[in-house]
Structure 1
Amino acid sequence: MSKVEQRLAELGVTLPAPAAPIANYTPFIRTGSLVIISGQLCLGADGKIAPHHVGRVGAGVSTADATGAARLCAINVLAQLRAGVGSLDRVLRCVRLGGFINSGPNFDALAGVMNGASDFMVEVFGEAGVHARSTVGVASLPLSAVVEVEGMFEVR
């Protein structure tokens, strides 16, 4: 078992099978030492979005549920990353995360929601999980997901 997979096990996390694209894109691209992961939704291990992760935060979805959805997105990002590089032990650092939060018109606590993904990267990779980030509130996301997260990683 890889060192990172062991850390995931300690956190009680099992990476799911990577989700297939739902449109005309590839789930990841490697260019040189960078791997860019396309936006991942908050799909559960069953490949579906739980009812409490559908809709808009601040307008029916709680901040706690949206933060949990961001963490789930980050788990799915790592599943794609592992598919792209074979072993997560090849990751040198998480370079950047981008978060899209399906939010109600007056919801402005977007950064806190995205911390669900950011905190997870630090839990998994330690200092190498600290990253640059953008977080954007949006009017809708595919499959009415409350959160979508994309990532960029430096690998050996």
Structure 2
Amino acid sequence: MSTSIEERLRDLGIILPEASDPAANYTNCVIAGSLLFVAGKGPSGKPKGKLGQAYSTEEGYQFARSAGIEILAVVKQALGSLDLVARVVKLQGFVNADPAFEQHHLVLNGCSDLMREVFGDSGIHSRSVMGANSLRDNLPLVIDSIFEIKP
């Protein structure tokens, strides 16, 4: 018998928060066909600052993991259960970074690793990550995502 995603979260010691509200005039997510598009989410606690200045790569990894937990909270709110996720399709990260910072990919691993831990092989996804010279509210990173949902 397979483990539910809720059980896996418990085993991992992850408690999902309430889904955070959008920061402006948009919705947290949109379902189009069998795809769920989740708006960009930053880390909990709303830290401020740039990677490579205020924060290290390791701290950025934890911020990306935290943003991933925020994403999962939105998905659960939208679907009612994370067991309705067929797979993680794509993550796209924007890292607020010093121009000399070159470890964007290692930062985004925080979210990628989380998705693999939670969804197993269905958490393996495509992704892209870009450096940004600024982000809303001076967040260190923002991640948006696409999920395939079960019929």
- 1:109-124 to 2 correspondence within 5 Å? 109-124=103-118
Task: Give CA deviations for 1:75-130 in whole Å, capped at 9, x if unaligned.
Answer: 00010011111110011100000001010010011100000000100000010000
Shift of 1:8: 0.9
Which position in structure 2 is the counterpart of 1:20? Answer: 21
Q: Is 1:69 aligned to residue 33 of structure 2?
A: no
Shift of 1:6: 1.0
Q: Residues of 1 paired with 2:58 and 2:137: CA distance?
A: 20
Q: Residues of 2 paired with 1:140 and 1:7: CA distance?
A: 35
Which position in structure 2 is the counterpart of 1:144? Answer: 138
- If the length of structure 1 is used for normalisation, what is the TM-score? 0.92
Shift of 1:59: 1.0
Residues paired across the two proteins, number? 148
| 4+ long deviations beyond 4 Å | none
AA in 1 matched with 2:48: V
- If the length of structure 2 is used for normalisation, what is the TM-score? 0.95
Q: Tell me the secondary structure at the aligned position of residue 57 of structure 1.
A: coil
Tell me, yes or no, if the aligned pair for 1:37 and 1:77 is still in contact at 8 Å: yes
Which moved further from structure 2: 79-88 or 53-62? 53-62
Q: Residues of 2 paired with 1:67 and 1:84: CA distance?
A: 26
Q: Residues of 1 paired with 2:147 and 2:109: CA distance?
A: 18
Q: Residues of 2 paired with 1:28 and 1:106: CA distance?
A: 33
Q: Residues of 1 paired with 2:6 and 2:41: CA distance?
A: 20
AA in 1 matched with 2:28: P
Match of 1:78 among 72, 93, 104: 72
Q: Residues of 2 paired with 1:60 and 1:29: CA distance?
A: 33
Which position in structure 2 is the counterpart of 1:30? Answer: 31
Q: Tell me the secondary structure at the aligned position of residue 154 of structure 1.
A: strand
Tell me, yes or no, if the aligned pair for 1:73 and 1:117 is still in contact at 8 Å: yes
Q: Residues of 1 paired with 2:85 and 2:7: CA distance?
A: 14
Which position in structure 2 is the counterpart of 1:5? Answer: 6
Tell me, yes or no, if the aligned pair for 1:54 and 1:61 is still in contact at 8 Å: no
Q: Residues of 1 paired with 2:94 and 2:7: CA distance?
A: 29
Shift of 1:63: 1.1
Q: Is 1:97 aligned to residue 98 of structure 2?
A: no
5+ long unaligned stretches in structure 2: none
